[in-house]
Amino acid sequence: MKKVAIITSHVIQYQLPFFNNLSKIKDIEFFFFSASDHGYKKRSFDNELKSNTQWVKKINIKNFYLNKSKNKIGSFFLYYPNLISILKKKKIDKILILGWNKIIFWQAIIFSIFNYCKIYLRAENNLERDQLIIFKFIKLIFFQLFFKIFDKIFYIGYLNKKFYLKYSVKSKKLIFCPYSVNNFFFQSINKVKKKNKLSFIFVGKFIPRKNISLIIDVANKLKTDSKLEFNLIGDGPLFSDVKKIIKKLKLKNVRLHGYKNQYQIRKLYKKNDILILPSAYETWGLVVNEAMAAGLPCIVSNKVGCRYDLVKNGKTGFIFRYNSSNDLCKKILYFKKNYFKLRMFKKEIKEQINKYSINKSISSLIDEFKKI
């Protein structure tokens, strides 16, 4: 039986269903290593939220090795004690690392080099983040050499593939392994409910990058329209500021719901019609996967990474120009004027999101890992 190690920096709630399904594969024995217990059981400090948060309460996955590191998750110095010796003892055949910017990933790379063990990469990077020319040049030199280490690289979508091709990775070395959430968990009845209002939902951290102020701006422009409402789900350093602005502008069409866990968010998706994600930058944007799994069309900015993969204009949602309240307004009013088309959108959404499922991701991995 083949033995595969999967290496991650810390426990992420989106990864758990993925890991759990992998652990149940009969022909391969998986071992999971995390450099940190950040967000698991105890409340851990989230640098973006500027507060202590608990994302994961329970892990029921076979062969899950969790390190209780004191280092912050953003630190390069996250590592797993004795990882190399453990990998030797377990006689690991193949390794998949989910990044490269932590010591734990380099521990795995070193093991693979000196033990002739095949190593694979799956990350979410793209080329859309602005950087100085000097950093771009350094990356060009480094990545062209670095990516040669890997036997295969799993890419999550269009922009991620474009990233690897930029650094001279051959197409035959790239395998599509879609970025996904537990679609089944978020699924909703494929039925449009008749109601008096058209409800838009935002889900995410209240931080500058998410550009929540644009939704407030649009809500203010449309505040005389009693048929529209905006529900903001999440928490963060900007929460109190957003609350003050809503009060100052006397916006009755905006509701703040605060932090909600995934079970609560699932219910809120079912009560809303359309997701808005106005971010200044997203490598992907997994809330789009969630919303589409729940049957919601998505309106996203042209800075959201998954726009090429999931958001098809006029079919599964719309892409608007970043920070353009006028363009966002047009997309919102389209749905108001064409409310009857939501059923048509839901059909297209179901077909599209089915291509980005955990089963599809796992199938890509298993097909490769079973090879000699």
**Beta carbons within 8 Å of 97's beta carbon, 6+ residues apart:** 7, 105, 108, 109, 119, 120, 121, 122
For 132, the token pair is 């100085």
CA–CA distances in Å: residue 197 to residues 146, 193, 252, 271, 274: 52, 11, 13, 11, 12
Residue type, 49: L
| pLDDT (tens place) for every residue of the chain, 372 residues total | 899 999 999 988 888 999 999 999 999 999 999 999 887 755 555 555 555 565 566 788 999 999 987 778 888 999 999 999 999 999 999 999 999 999 999 999 999 999 999 999 999 999 998 788 888 889 999 999 999 999 999 999 999 999 999 999 999 999 999 999 999 999 965 554 556 789 999 999 999 999 999 999 999 999 999 999 999 999 999 999 999 999 999 999 999 999 998 899 999 999 999 999 999 999 999 999 999 999 999 999 999 999 999 999 999 999 999 999 999 999 999 999 998 888 889 999 999 999 999 999 999 999 999 987
CA separation for the pair 348, 82 (Å, rounded): 49
Which residue type, as a one-letter code, is found at position 13?
Q
Which amino acid, one-letter code, is at 182?
N
For residues 24 and 285, give the distance between their C-alpha atoms in angstroms, rounded to a whole number.
Answer: 27
Architecture (CATH level 2) of domain 183-353 = 3-Layer(aba) Sandwich (3.40)
How far is the CA of 195 from the CAs of 133, 224, 247, 291, in angstroms? 52, 18, 26, 19
> Where in the sequence of the chain do the CATH 3.40.50.2000 domains occur?
2-180+357-369, 183-353
Tell me the two tokens of residue 363: 């199938």
Side-chain-side CA neighbours of 323 within 13 Å: the count stands at: 4
Give strand pairing partners of 152. 120
Rounded Cα distance between 298 and 304, Å, is 11
90: region left, alpha or beta (phi > 0 left; psi from -120 to 50 alpha): alpha
Extract the tokens encoding 7. Answer: 């290496």
Specify the CATH number of the domain 2-180+357-369.
Answer: 3.40.50.2000
